[in-house]
Amino acid sequence: MTVVNLSFSGAGFLGAYHLGVVGALLRHGDKLLSSLKACAGASAGALAATIMITAPDKLQHCKEFTYRFASNVRSQRFGAVTPGYDFMLELREGIEEILPPNAHQLANERLHISITHSKTFKNRMVSSFTSREDLIKVLLASSFLPVYAGMKPVKFQGQKWIDGGISDCLPVLPVGRTITVSPFSGPQDISPTHKGISKLHFRLANMSIMLSKDNIIRLNQALFPPSLPRLKALDQEGYQDAVCFLKKDGWLQ
């Protein structure tokens, strides 16, 4: 049987797209999931991968938190960088609510999270978690975009770490086939359809993105969360794109 991995790209608030993908895979992807060895991700993608591995039953809860989180950031005068607003605290509280007590045991060697060293900017993939708190710290580190999310990088194992999307935005695991997921149009296995005639693309920390007006809008929405209807539309778009992939690749029974 083919060994399959899933990798979710960095996405910011476009992580709503990832949650739609997760929903489709949980509902229609039994054949694929029976071959699934591991999940990987960076930033918001790491959070989606964690839901897939440790808390699939909390998917709806995760969506509701995402919508609430986005609404709270939107309501701040200067968004996430508004003085007095603690982006990382709100993210931690959301993660704490969603992860089960044994999340680190479920994640061990099945979840691979991309983080970036704050001084060398070298990538590290973490797949071993000695405690639930360790897992939470790695997830926070992978989502910590300097200045945007705060000024103090996340400490883990005596080192300081920042957003995994800076050094490897879309991890590909060494064994088996890695199915890649991205909310940006590009050559990834599951991603929005590219609209337009241009075939130009650019690299963003190991992820290829088509150069298009839609992707420029998406990059902006990743940091400056769009409205609730748009977030729900992203969720639905991810769901439909994942179903199309399952059909095209013969994973639907």
End-to-end Cα spacing for the chain: 16
For residue 200, give Cα distances in angstroms to 191, 196, 204, 209.
16, 10, 13, 9
Determine how β-strand 201-204 pairs with β-strand 207-210. antiparallel
Buried b (16+ CB within 10 A) or exposed e, 52-71: bbbbeebbeebbebbbebbe
Distances from the Cα of 113 to the Cα of 10, 70, 225, angstroms: 11, 23, 23
Which 3 state secondary structure label does DSSP give 161? strand
Coil, strand, or helix at residue 64? helix
Q: Which of 119, 94, 116 is nearest to 42 (CA)?
A: 116
163 part of the active site: yes
Q: Which of 43, 142, 167, 185 is catalytic?
A: 43
Of the residues 114, 143, 163, 167, only one is catalytic, namely 163
The contacts of residue 78 (CB under 8 Å, 6+ apart) are none
Catalytic-residue membership of 189: no
Q: What string of H, E and C letters represents the secondary structure of 165-192?
A: HHCCCCCCCCCCEEEEECCCCCCCCECC
Pair of tokens at residue 113: 């999270």
Active site residue ranges: 43, 163
